[in-house]
Amino acid sequence: MKTLWDETVHRRKRRRKRNVSILISQKPYSITGTGNDCGIIGHTLNAWDLSGCTTCMDCKVKVFCPGCTPKHPQDETAIPVLCERHEHERTVKHAAI
Ligand SMILES: [Zn+2]
Ligand SMILES: [Zn+2]
């Protein structure tokens, strides 16, 4: 009899209602729906600081302008992106040729 009783108790416990609340994932809004907007449409840069560095608003990657600074002063892994000024200069030079 003992075994049967135990089984009943165990079953009761197992059948306990699980608190299945749907977890709303707070993923950042993605335009392409892949979560990799930056790789597809490019980074969304913040304002450039005085040393020629900025960050991406979406993926928070560090960005530096190779025209302003030879390399990012803090981060070796920062990616090179020309700032508006240097991008413009490059375009003008190309147009002149
Ligand atoms: Zn990015
Ligand atoms: Zn620059």
SS3 26: coil
Q: What is the pLDDT of residue 50?
A: 95
**What's the mean pLDDT in 77-86?**
94
Query: Cα-atom radius of gyration of the chain, to the nearest Å?
Result: 27
Gap from CA of 19 to ligand 2 centroid (Å): 54
Nearest ligand by distance to the CA of 69: 2
| Helices of type H across 25-72 | 37-41
Compute, in angstroms, the gap from residue 80 CA to the centroid of ligand 1: 12
Note the ligand closest to the C-alpha atom of 61: 1
Query: Which ligand does the CA of 46 lie closest to?
Result: 1
DSSP structural state of residue 71: S
Model-level pTM? 0.59
pLDDT band at 57 (very low <50, low <70, confident <90, very high): very high
Query: What is the number of the ligand closest to the CA of 53?
Result: 2
Identify the pLDDT of residue 52.
Answer: 96
Identify the nearest ligand to the CA of 43 by its number.
Answer: 1
Residues 6+ apart with CB under 8 A from 59: 38, 43
* pLDDT tens digit sequence for 42-51: 999 999 999 9
Q: How far is the CA of 38 from the centre of ligand 1 (A)?
A: 4
* Residue 75 pLDDT greater than 80, yes or no: yes
Q: Would the pLDDT of 12 be above 90?
A: no
